[in-house]
Amino acid sequence: MKQSNWKIFLLFGFLMSWQLGCGSTATPALVFTDTPVLTPTPENTATPTPTFTPTPTPEPTLSPASFSQKAAPLCEPAFSSNAVLQEVSAPLVYLFQDEYSADKQWGVVNNFFPPAEAVTESDVKAVVCVRASRQRLFSYQDGEPGYQLTWNARLISWPDGNVIGSETFRGDPPPGIKFGGGAEYGRSPKDQLNRWIYDHLTTKTFFYTGDRVSGLSFSPDGQILVAGKGLRLNVSYAGSSFDMPVYVWNVSTGETLHTLKGHTQAVYWLSISPDGKLLASSDGDCKLKIWSRVSGELLQSFGGPGCNFVFSPDGRYLLIAGDSSGTKLMDLASLEIVNSLPYIGGMTFSPDGKTLIFSRVNAIVFIDMESLQPVKSLEETVEGNLEFDSRGRLLAIKGRWLDPIQVIDFETKKVISAITPDNLPITVSAFSPYGLLATGSQGGTVSVWDWETGALLRELQASPLDEISSLAFTPDGSRLAVGDNGGIVTLWDVSDLK
């Protein structure tokens, strides 16, 4: 497949579960090249608007039915051979066979077919043949069985069918408490299968955390992406891990720079300092940690609650609004608390960094950052978040789940646009001051909107199985990071939509 240095394309196939979902149309995603890491944008220097030329996305021509007919005869004999996997190239296609089903037919499951890069049959490099079996471990009080899944996998080259890798993966035992009617299954070994293939890919076109992506954030220059690891449902299953690292990646090369360990709950809040040297992270227990973004060293653990924090644009402070006592100012040079403000709530800085806005129920307070004194107070409530657009206009962004997202001019109270995706509920959203707003769904799609007009600009089938759990735009709005419930982080070029 031909591609330019910036052309965006994406692999999903092997990281998607085979149990649910529907077909998708591919949209390109970022390919990692050996572009050097850019020097962070100097303070008070405007980030230039990119002028990338969008690359047309060809329509895929693969058919699940016809591909299954051709690939299934290669999967069956593959299980008589074994091989130690050395490396594998994308794109990949999955074929599954349930040994406990009535027909035991091999088939490509629509939710991850075709792979995003695969446009024709000749583009496919390998096929993952998975033979699924189950073992009944016990019965619940209602007599229904509790099953543990086993996936026996063979990785074969396409189209010759040579076995290039073999492995068996066992899922978790079923939970001790039954959650509904019918049989109950333990967590599938999908993550083990994913990791096996991911670790042997010759070219990685995405990032992988191993579990729910609970938070995403870019560095000010857009060259570093950080992600927090969370947990999906059924965390009581055996083998569930509560080691919740923060991953630091180089966007241009795909290299994992650091895996920061220390959190024991899902990491929801992440931010990189304006100079790109510090990283702040906080988890579900509101435990705040400050890291060296360059070395990965843990520099400080904040003792008090620290769920709500923000770096001041001038790089002097980390503001921490953790409890009812007010907001603490941590000096970034010494990492010591040096002052405090008697306000709490959502925090938004003006584009020039001179004004801090606190928003809470029945109170909006504007703080001058030089004197740390209030300059204006309003007795009103902002529903949602306050954001500034690229022209310095203050906006209120409200709505989520089953409610439409409204973009409101804070000064005039005029509703600029109301966005109601067809694929409700909205699981997460992200705002770019350069006119774009992204929404994620439970079905794995991401919609990119023009928040000025409410027009739908692009729909991305970012995760055909797992719900979208996190979104983040680069500061210049040219790229969108998408994290899903299965641990996949993908990058999408949206520079042509600005």
Confidence category of residue 315, pLDDT binned at 50, 70, 90:
very high
pLDDT exceeds cutoff 50 at 33 = no
* Contacts of 265 by beta carbon, 8 Å cutoff, 6+ apart: 242, 244, 283, 284, 285, 287
The whole-number pLDDT of residue 42 equals: 40
| Residues 219-233, mean pLDDT to the nearest whole number | 90
pLDDT exceeds cutoff 80 at 259 = yes
Q: Which residue did the predictor score with more confidence, 362 or 179?
A: 362
From the options 3.40.1010.20, 1.10.3720.10, 3.90.76.10, 2.130.10.10, give the CATH code of 207-497: 2.130.10.10
Token readout for 88 is 């594998």
pLDDT exceeds cutoff 80 at 41 = no
Confidence category of residue 421, pLDDT binned at 50, 70, 90:
confident
Confidence category of residue 312, pLDDT binned at 50, 70, 90:
very high
| Residues 92-96, mean pLDDT to the nearest whole number | 89
Query: 211-225, 246-260, 379-393, 453-467: which range is least confident on average?
Result: 453-467
For the ranges 4-18, 113-127, 177-191, 229-243, the one whose mean pLDDT is highest: 177-191
Share of the chain above pLDDT 70, in %: 83
The whole-number pLDDT of residue 466 equals: 77
Q: What is the pLDDT of residues 163-218, one digit of tens each?
A: 999 999 999 999 888 878 899 999 888 878 878 887 888 877 778 887 889 999 99
Q: What are phi and psi of 380, to 5 degrees?
A: -150, 165
Confidence category of residue 112, pLDDT binned at 50, 70, 90:
low
Whether the predicted model's global pTM rises above the 0.85 cut: no
Q: Are 60 and 174 in contact (CB under 8 A)?
A: no
| Residues 115-141, mean pLDDT to the nearest whole number | 87
The whole-number pLDDT of residue 75 equals: 96
Q: What is the pLDDT of residues 262-310, one digit of tens each?
A: 998 889 999 999 999 999 999 888 899 999 999 999 999 987 777 889 9
pLDDT exceeds cutoff 80 at 232 = no
The whole-number pLDDT of residue 151 equals: 96
Token readout for 380 is 């009103």
pLDDT exceeds cutoff 60 at 238 = no
Share of the chain above pLDDT 90, in %: 55
Q: What is the pLDDT of residues 316-325, one digit of tens each?
A: 999 998 777 7
The whole-number pLDDT of residue 469 equals: 94
Closest residue by Cα to residue 462 from 426, 428, 488, 437 = 488
Confidence category of residue 146, pLDDT binned at 50, 70, 90:
very high
For the ranges 111-120, 185-194, 239-248, the one whose mean pLDDT is highest: 185-194
pLDDT exceeds cutoff 70 at 116 = no
Domain borders along the chain are 13-25+60-198, 207-497
The whole-number pLDDT of residue 11 equals: 37
Q: What is the pLDDT of residues 7-16, one digit of tens each?
A: 222 333 333 3
| Residues 45-64, mean pLDDT to the nearest whole number | 48
Confidence category of residue 77, pLDDT binned at 50, 70, 90:
very high
